[in-house]
Amino acid sequence: MERTELLESLLEVSTNEYYAHQLKDELGRYFNVMTGVVVESANLLSPQNLECHGRLCYLSDDMLVTALLVLCDVSDAIEDEDRCTLPPPIREAYDSKTAKRESDALVKTTICEALLQLCSTKTGRQYLRSLGVYFILREMHRHECAVEQNLVGIEGGNELQTQKNLVFVVDQVVDQLICEESERPKDYSSLRDVPIDKETEEKLNKAKVAYINST
């Protein structure tokens, strides 16, 4: 039994409020470390060092699959043909109906931002496609948009803004995965190297802010 499973099992059977609280904290710390590793691994990649980028993708299956499991849910409607492209642990979670999407929008946003970092290179995009990430995010996007709609008109703007930011990041990752490689600039090995003038950058930032702040 993995450490997370053990902690969750202990939490379920614990009747002592004090120890239950301790177990929750420990499980939270463990998950935060896992998420942090994903994010830092992606953020620390140098755009020029594609060898390290490829190594992260192909030698870190467990880390990425663990992060992706957090984005899956038993309610996801993925066809059998598409489900066959998913890593075995994720297929098993779906088949056993144990897949459960994380409820914390900030955690999901953090993971998706790490995936977006991996989308900056062809190596990263191809690897994410090979894991069936598109199908997972497609279903996640459907769910998160419904959550966003339910928050519209409810007091507590921060929660709605956080949710909108999550949807925005998911959209960005999906856009990168569905874009044909033949449509991309040929002269750049990383999207981070593509020059963007200041005016265009400001327009993009304003559009993002306007969307997140809209009600």
What pLDDT score does 13 carry?
46
3-state secondary structure of 190: strand
DSSP letter at 188?
-
Given a contact cutoff of 8 angstroms between Cβ atoms, the answer to whether 162 and 106 are in contact is: yes
What are the CA-CA distances from residue 53 to residues 44, 116, 190 (Å)?
Answer: 10, 13, 11
Q: Is residue 146 pLDDT above 90, yes or no? A: yes
Residue 119 CA to residue 125 CA, distance in Å, equals 5
Residue 70 CA to residue 41 CA, distance in Å, equals 18
What pLDDT score does 52 carry?
54
Query: ∠ CA 110-142-98 to the nearest 5 degrees?
Result: 75
What are the CA-CA distances from residue 173 to residues 15, 18, 113 (Å)?
Answer: 42, 41, 8
Q: Is residue 67 pLDDT above 90, yes or no? A: no
pLDDT tens per residue across span 100-115: 999 989 889 988 888 8
More confident residue, 31 or 62: 62
Q: Which of 114, 214, 87 is nearest to 170 (CA)?
A: 114
Give the helix, strand, coil percentages of the chain, each rounded to 5.
Answer: 70, 0, 25
What pLDDT score does 72 carry?
96
Unique residue bearing structure tokens 């059977």: 13
Q: Which of 5, 106, 134, 128 is nearest to 60 (CA)?
A: 128
Mean of per-residue pLDDT scores for the chain: 75
Q: Is residue 65 pLDDT above 60, yes or no? A: yes
Residue 116 CA to residue 188 CA, distance in Å, equals 17
Per-residue pLDDT band at 78 (split at 50, 70, 90): very high
